[in-house]
Every structure is written in C-alpha cells, then in structure tokens.
Amino acid sequence: MKREAATPVGTVGAVVLYPRDGDDATRASNRAAALLTDARVRIAVPRELVMSPRFDLGVAHGVVAADELGPSVDLVIAVGGDGTLLRAARWVGSAAIPVMGVNLGNLGFLAAFGASELDTAVAAAVAGDLVWQPRLRMQVEIWRERELRATQLGCNDVYVKHGEQPRMLRLRTTVGGSFMADVRADGLIVSTPMGSTAYNLAAGGPIVEPGTNAFTITPICPHTLTHRPVVTSAEHVISITHTGPDAGAAAMLSVDGQWSFPLELGDEVRVRRADVELRLVPPRATVFDVLARKLGWS
C-alpha cells in the first residue's frame, strides 16, 4: 500500500497552545511557553480556555478564537492525551493548520511526542524539522423530516447508541446508496482509520492503518451474530436511519465522544468524507510499533 507523503511544517513563528486541565498540563504548557518564548515564537491560547478559571494565564501571550485562525498561525500544540488532541482538531475546524500532540495520557495513539519529549518537540518545531500528514475526517449530518438539523466534523468516529434505557436499536444502514443491513444492536460505530484504535477497537472492529481511504462500520453488541464489522471506501456516503423499536427507543448520536445529539425515530445520520483533512504531525513510530509496545503484541 502506498504510504502518505509527509509535508514539512516549516519554521514556526506563531504557535497556539491547547492544553487540557490539570497540574501536569499546566506545568508542561508553562515549560513549552518558556522554550517558545526563548526562541522568539509568539504564543496564543484558545479564547475558550482563557475563560476557564482552571486555566493558568501564565502561558498566554495572546488569545485567539477558532474563527480568527489564519496564515499567521503555524502550528497548534495539544498538550494532553488523545482526547485533548481531538478537541484541538475540532477547534481548528477547517483551518489548514497542523496539529501536534504531546501525550500526557496513557495510550497516546495520536501524539507525536511523549511527556518526556516536550523539549525535543519544541526544538523540532523551532528548527523546522516537523512534518505533517493528511488524516481523513468525516462530515456528519443529521436529517429529520428532510431537513438538515445539525452537522459536525469528526476525526475519530461517530456512533449511534441507545439512550439512558438500554434497549436494542434497529438501524437501517446503506452504503453508497445500496442497502447494507437492518442492524439490530445496542448501537453502530462509523470510524476513520485514525479512529479505528478507539471505540471501534473496543467493540471488536478492525485496526486500519492510517492513510487508508476507508470507513469502518462496526455494530455494538449485535443481537444477530452474523452482523460483522465492514470496511468500505471513504468515497461512499454511509446512511444510518433510526427505525425502532417504536416504544422506548431513545437514541443518541455522538461525534468523537465530544459532541452529542438526541435522535428521534426516523432520523437519518449521513456520514461522508469531509472536504478538509486534518493536518496531523504524526507519531514517529508506526501504528504497529504502538500496538506492539502499548498492547503487548511484541
């Protein structure tokens, strides 16, 4: 399989720090800010984080909103775990700005650097040694009575799942306009290759190498054992319609585990390839190296 080419980030002159809450993240962000300041790099933080009373304003040389991002910002540094990197990617939206993760969490499939490599990460950014690769993202639409009710960008996955009451759902699923199945399950996950090691993996779905042009459709606890995960081209539109049961069929849609929307009977979820891909500074290790080290495959 052809691997994705890497594109140089270039020498950075302005960086946005996007840290998670917590003492570890505050210390790491302050350290990154000091290193970047010494290198004469301008630093900003998201305005939404400045509004949080838990955030240490000491790292902020400026503030910026997502809709203010422009060519003057060269890099977004997400300080935390994979969830923080996903929040940073959602915050960046369609702006073509590379995102680099410094992992303070446990697994850390997405981050380019570990917590002990913070100085190395900043030095690489300042020296112009970073590269980014495109990562497939999904555009998620919710349709109700032929009207578009909501739309969101997703990097990892979108899933439909039962509400507070654990009931089996019927989810009519089509791929590229062709009927796939009336899935009877607790829910259904559609994931990108980047998200294949998240909820999809926990639900028994396949691990898909980054750069593969594919979506994975994985049932959650299917009530028919013949319903199995399916991998399909990302060029197809996937449609999931909530068809039942008629009583007590509350369902919830979630995108990247960070945005939710309550579904009603008859609602249709459409998943398509997003027009703008995520520019991710990738881990130096391959996904297979990470699996061998973190999941004990070695």
| CATH superfamily for domain 138-273 | Probable inorganic polyphosphate/atp-NAD kinase; domain 2 (2.60.200.30)
The answer regarding whether domain 7-136+278-294 maps to CATH 3.40.50.10330 reads yes
Q: Would you give the end-to-end CA distance of the chain in angstroms?
A: 23
| Displacement of CA 50 from its chain's centroid (Å) | 22
Q: Which residue has the higher pLDDT, 90 or 290?
A: 90
- Label residue 155 by pLDDT band (50, 70, 90): very high
pTM of the model: 0.91
pLDDT of residue 3: 47
19-64 per-position pLDDT tens digit: 988 888 889 999 999 999 999 999 999 988 877 766 666 666 788 8
pLDDT of residue 57: 61
pLDDT of residue 117: 94
Domain boundaries, the chain: 7-136+278-294, 138-273
pLDDT of residue 128: 94
Q: Which residue has the higher pLDDT, 164 or 269?
A: 269
Task: Indicate the average pLDDT of the chain.
Answer: 90
Angle between helices 118-127 and 23-38 (to 10 degrees): 30
Q: Do domains 7-136+278-294 and 138-273 have the same CATH topology?
A: no
211-240 per-position pLDDT tens digit: 899 999 999 999 988 899 999 999 999 999
Q: Which residue has the higher pLDDT, 90 or 292?
A: 90
- Label residue 1 by pLDDT band (50, 70, 90): very low
159-218 per-position pLDDT tens digit: 999 877 778 899 999 999 999 999 999 999 999 999 998 999 999 999 999 889 999 999
Q: Which residue has the higher pLDDT, 71 or 219?
A: 219
Catalytic center residues:
82
Please enumerate in sequence order all residues whose Cβ is within 8 A of that of 251, keeping only pairs 6 or more positions apart, or say none: 160, 161, 162, 163, 169, 187, 242, 262, 263, 267
Does the pLDDT at position 74 exceed 90? yes
